[in-house]
């Protein structure tokens, strides 16, 4: 053996060593860089992505994927002029790709080039009638020219075509424009249509519940809020709203169960106040006092509604001086001096408990806020 190569093996080794290394394939290099750039883009490393795409362009200048890919990066960076240039090139190179026109239309909208925006977006829709982004932008353009019904129709079409996680936002956009114009019935129709289509997002169900309450449809509103509460794991107010509606509908047991579910999400004084009032309705004074104590223990002291609710319950349970102390503190906060309803409530309660100093203080604020007119009790 002796560690020596056989003669034939030696010649083969020399021949291989003398051969030049194969040159790398530019297209293969470009494809590798394109993949790396895409990975950087998805990771949010936009500068690195652009640098890699530029290298791809050097290796393969005619790569048809590049203009749209680079346009997406520029768009995420809000470099609209650069994004527009790339997508215009992409649309010229591949005019049958609806996304190129959709992105162009969006950029034109952002750059306030309305005369270019609509044709580009319509082109996108002609190529892909379910392009939700283009439909949404056409809705925005319709709003700018005051065509509300057209905008609503576009938003609804966009919602129908959008991925599930985006549907609720678009339906709410449509309903919101109608609600702002006093068209609650039409807004309700949009949201009910969304619900029938299977959209169960908490924010949509909550908005539906609010409109149903305004329409006096408390039973349906309770159902909508319940769906919202079941879908939302971190919003205690939704179960509270269900409880309030159940109470109005005369279903005390269901109301109590809903209030308890709200407390499971978060302990809040206002919910304990609501439970205490349910106890009072069934003449259970001990239960009412227990819930009041829990309300006082969980009170944050940072919300006006909480303070007012607590004060009202304290007064109902015969603790008027404690109620006055809470309201008087609230009424003395900066910015509350001109809240005449609050000041009058303090003045009335002060008179009931015979606290003339608190009464004068509140009445003085009322007079100052109401141009000297004394409306105190």
Can you tell me the mean pLDDT for 45-69?
A: 89
pLDDT of residue 291: 97
- Over residues 137-158, mean pLDDT: 96
Phi/psi-derived region of residue 275, left when phi > 0, alpha when psi is between -120 and 50, beta in every other case: alpha
Contacts 24+ apart (CB under 8 A), 146-149: 148/177, 148/178, 148/181
Q: 355 by DSSP, 3-state: which?
A: coil
Dig out the tokens for 357 from the structure.
Answer: 């100093």
What's the whole-number mean pLDDT along residues 44-59? 89
pLDDT at 371: 60
pLDDT bracket for residue 369 (50, 70, 90):
confident
Model confidence at 302, pLDDT cuts 50, 70, 90, reads confident
Q: Give which of 115, 132, 134, 116 is closest to 124, Cα–Cα.
A: 134
The candidate with the shortest Cα–Cα distance to 54, out of 31, 72, 37, is 37
Residues 85-109: tens digit of each pLDDT: 999 999 999 999 999 999 999 999 9
Assess whether pLDDT exceeds 60 at residue 342: yes
pTM: 0.79
Checking if the pLDDT of 14 tops 50, the result is no
In the chain, helix, strand, coil percent, each to 5?
Answer: 75, 0, 25
Please say if the pLDDT value at position 5 is more than 50. no
Residue 16 has pLDDT above 70, yes or no: no
Q: How far is CA 225 from CA 220, 232, 310, 330, in A?
A: 9, 10, 25, 31
Q: Are 330 and 341 in contact (CB under 8 A)?
A: no
Side-chain-side CA neighbours of 43 within 13 Å: the count stands at 11
Residue 171 has pLDDT above 80, yes or no: yes
| DSSP assignments along 112-181, one per residue | T-HHHHHHHHHHHHHH-TT-HHHHHHHHHHHHHTT-HHHHHHHHHHHHHHS-HHHHHHHHHHHHHHHHHT
Looking at residues 133-151, what average pLDDT do you find? 96
What's the whole-number average pLDDT of the chain?
Answer: 90
> Which pLDDT does position 62 carry in this prediction?
85
């Amino acid at each position: 053996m002796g560690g020596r190569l056989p003669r034939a093996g030696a010649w083969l080794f020399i021949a291989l060593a003398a051969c030049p290394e194969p040159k790398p394939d530019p297209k293969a290099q470009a494809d590798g860089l394109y993949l790396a750039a895409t990975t950087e883009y998805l990771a949010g490393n936009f500068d690195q992505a652009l640098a890699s795409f530029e290298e791809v362009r050097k290796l393969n200048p005619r790569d048809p994927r590049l203009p749209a890919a680079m346009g997406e990066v520029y768009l995420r960076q809000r470099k609209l002029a650069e994004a527009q240039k790339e997508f215009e090139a992409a649309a010229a190179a591949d005019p049958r790709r609806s996304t190129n026109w959709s992105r162009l239309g969006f950029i034109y909208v952002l750059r306030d080039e309305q005369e270019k925006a609509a044709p580009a977006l319509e082109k996108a829709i002609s190529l892909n009638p379910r392009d939700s982004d283009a439909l949404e932008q056409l809705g925005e353009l319709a709003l700018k020219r005051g065509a509300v019904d057209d905008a609503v129709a576009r938003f609804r079409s966009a919602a129908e075509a959008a991925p599930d996680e985006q549907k609720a936002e678009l339906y709410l956009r449509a309903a919101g424009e109608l609600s702002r114009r006093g068209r609650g019935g039409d807004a309700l129709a949009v949201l009910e249509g969304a619900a029938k289509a299977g959209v169960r997002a908490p924010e949509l169900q909550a908005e539906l519940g609010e409109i149903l309450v305004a329409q006096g449809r408390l039973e349906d509103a309770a159902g909508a809020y319940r769906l919202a509460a079941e879908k939302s794991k971190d919003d205690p107010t939704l179960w509270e709203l269900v409880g309030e509606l159940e109470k109005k509908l005369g279903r005390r047991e269901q109301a109590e169960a809903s209030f308890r579910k709200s407390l499971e999400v978060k302990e809040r004084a206002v919910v304990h106040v609501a439970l205490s009032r349910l106890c009072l309705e069934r003449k259970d004074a001990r239960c009412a006092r227990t819930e009041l104590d829990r309300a006082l223990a969980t009170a944050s002291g940072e919300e006006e509604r909480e303070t007012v609710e607590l004060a009202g319950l304290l007064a109902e349970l015969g603790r008027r001086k404690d109620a006055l102390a809470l309201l008087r503190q609230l009424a003395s906060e900066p910015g509350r001096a001109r809240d005449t309803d609050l000041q009058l409530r303090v003045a009335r309660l002060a008179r009931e408990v015979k606290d003339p100093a608190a009464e004068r203080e509140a009445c003085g604020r009322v007079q100052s806020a109401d141009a000297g007119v004394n409306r105190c009790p």
